[in-house]
Structure 1
Amino acid sequence: MKFINRTAVPAALALALAGGGVLAARAVTQTAGGPLQAQASAMVPNQSEWSVFAWSMDRNQPLFAINADKAIIPASNNKVYSAIWALDVLGPDYRFPTDLLITGAVQNGVLRGDVVIRGSGDPAFGYYEYDKDPLTSPRAMAAGLKRLGVRVVEGGVIADPYIHDRQNFGPDWPRDTGNGAARYAPTVSGLPFNRNMLWVRMTPGQGQGYIREPDVPEIPIVNGSRGGGANAYAVRQPHQDTIRIRGGGRGRFGVGAFEPAYLAGGAVRQALREAGIEVRGPLRIAQTPQGSVLVHRHLSIPLVQMVPQLNRHSDNFFAEHLWKAAAAKAVGQGTYAGGGAASAVFFHDKAGVPWGELWQADGSGLSAQNRTSAQALVRALIYAHKQPWSQPFHESMAIAGDPGGTMRRMFVGGPAQGNLHAKTGYINDVRTLSGYVKTASGETVVFSFLYNGRNTSGARGVQTNLGNLLAGYTR
């Protein structure tokens, strides 16, 4: 269960939600009517807890609306905005660079300076899903340095995450994330590595009893395991990097690092050591010194290949990094404070989202400070449908009843199965669903069903009924 705090609403969010545009929005959404509106209304109990909107793109008119301009918490439907923003401002073919640089001359095999690893927020860097071995890319960097004849680094390793701010977890995230310690929501960084997880492999009876992966002694580990058994685990407190091993036995455990830039820097240092290059100085987090010389550039997979991580698999880590990358493009640095305002302006200008109906406090939807209306999501989805990257965006969504996404158990056996494709969303007291569906008459309908209330199980049933209503609709 992901617990949220509904009481924390910052001044910037309150100001955004008080903005203009709501009256104009009502003029649009209140034109819905007829039998379909009546059927939808009959399916939705406790309508004050809902924001619902369905729009026919073929007729360019609403099919039904319930509080469509009411801004409420979207949960992971917030990822729809993050994917669209990143695809639009960065482009589907964008590749995140991660650079290895040096700060001094190479003389007789000695680098008279530091090695720098500089990130741009690539969520796939060192990620085993793509590299299989997380050290593959750091080893390629080490090979580039070795080709220069370097045998000794007189300085140390600098890790530069400053394309983003140093707020490594979102505002008002659920308590069970541990401020980025949890595997479902690890920390965010301008220099990510392997999902910013430090892995601890237990080796009872051998040396210190554990191995860090990667080898980063800058992140302290306190081994309190008892040995024996099979119930060992690793944890850290929300506001510190010290990892504590408890229980006993063998195993491998991942913990989101509080200072994630140490992981990439430590991985590079480990790769250099494996390549026979001695590093004499420390690992530290700092900005890249002026005059540094590029040695090797790693380029990520294309951004369009990352978007299914957001929409089909609801991956919080990828969502945060794509959103912060879009914010960095818009305002010069990936910041939570600056990103929310920049996102609101983007969707107002490009998709016609009314002021006051959208506020992104983070990229994933974990934050209880996020707000959107059903109308705002529908407008954003209409905008995405009309873009050159529309097809891969559609394909990135989960499909009703398909085992490969978050809707594997939804709409099974109904008219929406295999047809409706959408983004799901769930945190405590929030259940949301927004996407596209073809009616029985062949119309393309964009919809958003947002619920904030105690009965999230019942809300899922309501959303299923509304989706099947649209899929079975005959004009």
Structure 2
Amino acid sequence: MKSIRRTAVPGALALALVGGALLAGRAGTQTGTGPLQAQAAAMVPNPGEWSILAWSLDRNEPLFAINADSAIIPASNNKVYSAIWSLAVLGPDYRFPTDVLVTGPVEGGVLRGDVVIRGSGDPAFGYPDYDKDPMTTPRKMAAALQRMGVRSIQGGVIADPYVHDRQNFGPDWPRDTGNGAARYAPTVSGLPFNRNMLWVRMTPGQGEGFMREPDVPEIPIINGARGGANAYAVRKPDEDTVRIRGGSRGRFGVGAFEPAWLAGAALRQALREAGIQVAGPLRIAQTPQGAAVVHRHFSIPLMDMTFQLGRHSDNFFAEHLWKAAVAKSTGHGTFTGGGAASAVFFHDRAGVPWGQLWQADGSGLSAQNRTSANGLVRALIFAHKQPWGARFHESLSIAGDRGGTMNRMFVGQPAQGVLHAKTGYINDVRTLSGYVKTASGENVVFSFLYNGRNTGGARGVQQNLGNLLATYRR
């Protein structure tokens, strides 16, 4: 993740923080008496910038702690909570459904009504990592209507993303996200498609000089290309108009401001490819009462999606899994309702003290997120004890492994291969939380959270602390 600005704590968050007893909230306080306390303390400069806890799972006691109860910004360590919460309330085998419905009868090959595509927030829908061609599933949906004998649709296509609210980007996201325009942090939707990215392919000398993928003229494009190579697309943060800049060659993507257009357009395109004529317009609306489900697509299992969070720190998947947990817990996937629901869940189920957790979003992009090392350790202990705990361990990045975000950390060091953790980085924040096995085979859960200007130095401190645990013998 990229740079983030610090903001004043909003009212709801301030209330949550005041509501809990921060046992070690004063800057610089040392709060541990474990066997490694002195060695850990010697490794940590400016302790007031840290919240640190290492806890023995086998002995159920601390190995060292520094300001363990201080709630600070977690960056992508926030994804630890999102993954655990979604696994706990939805289940590791949960599959997101995306439905195709019709609002009228089929008579003589004509659907006397609309066709509806209704989402449940499936981040893998049309995702190239799982379908090489994002149009694969929309084409299966069109084929289902073909089998019903549909040759034309009297109405249009309705895209229904209303399992979530219509706030498609999180509070206090960094400016460089463009409110979901950036590829590293695209928009969030109850009806996502292909990472909610509109892809533009330049076609010099043909038509408008570009093609949309999918074909979605509802999103306007202004072609300002000047010839040559290196074309790119941008949009302003609060509108869907895409502007092409630079040259006239290439293929590039921009996050859609209203992503539900993409899934609806993909289905309409698939219908036309199948020879089914669509007379009416594409619109975004709630599914009409009485609409009948004619096809249901199920996603890959949720457990498989958590690898996108743990190993690859994918903001898009994190936000959708978090909003799914919010929807399951409150009835509607909202950013405004998620923080309180998450805090209640982790307090009741994992023992995270009041005041030591606030999730303003699911990814950690928001400047409003807060957690303590103690909170993360308690959540990780809870996950470790679940039937899906072993798979959760596997979903985290492995120290020194090329396939995750720790590919350059702990290489050739004692913790390589035995430390599994979630990394986190934004401007003035560097975090690392997870599990490690000591030299004597002891299982330890830890959280090393840093908020300060020296994030490069903090990374070295975190590696030293991880190696201290990896080499520890009772």
TM range (shorter): over 0.9
Distance (whole Å) between structure 1 residues aligned to residue 105 and residue 438 of structure 2: 66
**Partner residue of 2:219?**
219
Q: Distance in 2 between matches of 1:250 and 1:31?
A: 59
Name the CA distance, whole Å, in 1 between partners of 2:3 and 2:79: 19
Query: What does residue range 59-208 of structure 1 map to in structure 2 within 5 Å?
Result: 59-208=59-208
Aligned residues: 472
The separation in 1 between residues aligned to 2:93 and 2:361, in whole angstroms, is 23
Q: CA shift at 1:242, angstroms?
A: 0.3
Whether contact under 8 Å (2:24, 2:67) holds in the other structure is no
1:203 deviation in Å? Answer: 0.9
The answer on whether the counterparts of 2:25 and 2:67 sit within 8 Å (CA) in structure 1 is no
Farther-moved stretch of structure 1 (190-199 vs 12-21): 12-21
Q: Retained in 2: the 8 A contact 1:310–1:318? A: yes
Give the Å deviation of 1:105.
Answer: 1.0
Structure 2 residue aligned with 1:310: 309
Normalization by structure 1: what TM-score? 0.98
2:329 counterpart SS class = helix
- Provide the residue aligned with 2:43 in structure 1: 43
Report what 2:428 is aligned to: 429
What amino acid is the match of 1:80? V
Structure 1's 345 and 24: CA in aligned 2 closer, same or farther, altered over 3 A? Answer: farther
Please show how residues 446-465 of structure 1 align to structure 2 within 5 Å.
446-465=445-464
Partner of 1:261: 260
Give the 3 Å change call, closer, same or farther, for CA 118–468 of structure 1 in structure 2: same
Write the deviation string for residues 338-381 of structure 1: whole angstroms up to 9, x where unpaired. 11110000000000000000000000000010000000000000
Q: Does 1:368 align with 2:356?
A: no
- What's the CA shift for 1:387? 0.2
Question: Using the alignment, how far apart are the partners of 1:200 and 1:25 within structure 2?
Answer: 50
Q: Aligned partners of 1:291 and 1:24: how far apart in 2?
A: 56
How far does residue 167 in structure 1 lie from its aligned partner after superposition?
Answer: 0.4
CA distance in 1, matches of 2:147, 2:420: 49
Residue in 1 aligned with 2:443?
444
Aligned to 2:238: 239
Q: Which runs of no fewer than 5 residues in structure 1 stay unpaired?
A: none
Which amino acid letter does the alignment assign opposite residue 106 of structure 1?
Answer: V
Q: Give yes or no for contact 2:24–2:69 (8 Å, CA) kept in 1.
A: no
**AA of the residue aligned to 2:180:** G
CA contact (8 A) 1:159 1:283 kept: yes
Give the 3 Å change call, closer, same or farther, for CA 453–141 of structure 1 in structure 2: same
Amino acid at match of 1:262: W
Distance in 2 (alpha carbons) for counterparts of 1:395 and 1:220? 43
SS in 2 for 1:238: coil
- For residue 473 of structure 1, what is the aligned residue in structure 2? 472
In structure 1, the partner of 2:10 is: 10
d(CA) in 2 for partners of 1:256 and 1:394?
Answer: 31
Give distance in 1, aligned partners of 2:449 and 2:200. Answer: 40
The 5-angstrom pairing of residues 260-339 of structure 1 reads 260-339=259-338
In structure 1, what is the Cα distance between the partners aligned to 2:3 and 2:433? 22
Note closer, same or farther for the CA distance 1:45–1:6 as it changes in structure 2 (3 Å cut).
same
SS of the aligned residue for 2:436 comes to: strand
Deviation at 1:226, TM superposition (A): 1.0
Find the counterpart in structure 2 of residue 58 from structure 1.
58
Q: What secondary structure does 1:62 align onto?
A: strand
**Would you say 1:382 and 2:381 are equivalent positions?**
yes
Within 2, Cα distance between the matches of 1:395 and 1:86? 16
Q: Which amino acid aligns with 1:214?
A: P
Query: How far apart, in 2, do the equivalents of 1:462 and 1:31 lie?
Result: 18
Quote the Cα distance in structure 2 between the aligned partners of 1:317 and 1:389.
23
The CA distance in 2 between the partners of 1:455 and 1:32, in whole Å, is 24
Taking the aligned partners of 1:68 and 1:21, their CA distance within structure 2 comes to 12
Report the residue type matching 2:334 in the other structure.
T
Check conservation: 1:73, 1:371, Cα contact below 8 A. Answer: yes
| Separation in structure 1 between the aligned mates of residue 466 and residue 258 of structure 2, nearest angstrom | 43
One-letter amino acid matched to 1:20: G
Q: Tell me how far apart the structure 1 counterparts of residues 361 and 439 of structure 2 sit (CA, whole Å).
A: 37
Deviation at 1:174?
0.6
Q: CA-to-partner distance for each residue in 1:210-236, whole Å, 9 max, x for gaps?
A: 000000000000000012x21211110
Deviation at 1:30, TM superposition (A): 7.4
Amino acid in the other structure paired with 1:171: P
Change (3 A) 1:34 1:310: closer
Deviations, residues 241-283 of structure 1 (Å, cap 9, x unaligned): 0000011131000100000000000000000000101101111
Greater displacement, 369-378 / 146-155: 146-155
What secondary structure, in the 3-state scheme, does the structure 1 residue paired with 2:122 have? coil
- 3-state SS of paired residue (1:470): helix
Q: Report how far residue 2 of structure 1 moved.
A: 2.0
Q: Tell me what 1:412 maps to.
A: 411
- Conserved 8 A contact 2:356-2:372: yes
In the TM superposition, residue 20 of structure 1 has moved relative to its aligned partner by 2.3
Q: Is the 8 A contact 1:25 1:354 kept in 2?
A: no
In the aligned structure 1, how far is the partner of 2:426 from the partner of 2:3? 7
Deviations 1:49-96 (A, max 9, x none): 000000001111001000000000000000000000000000000000
Q: Which amino acid aligns with 2:154?
A: E
SS at match of 2:123: coil
- Using the alignment, how far apart are the partners of 1:236 and 1:333 within structure 2? 29
CA displacement at 1:34 relative to structure 2? 4.9
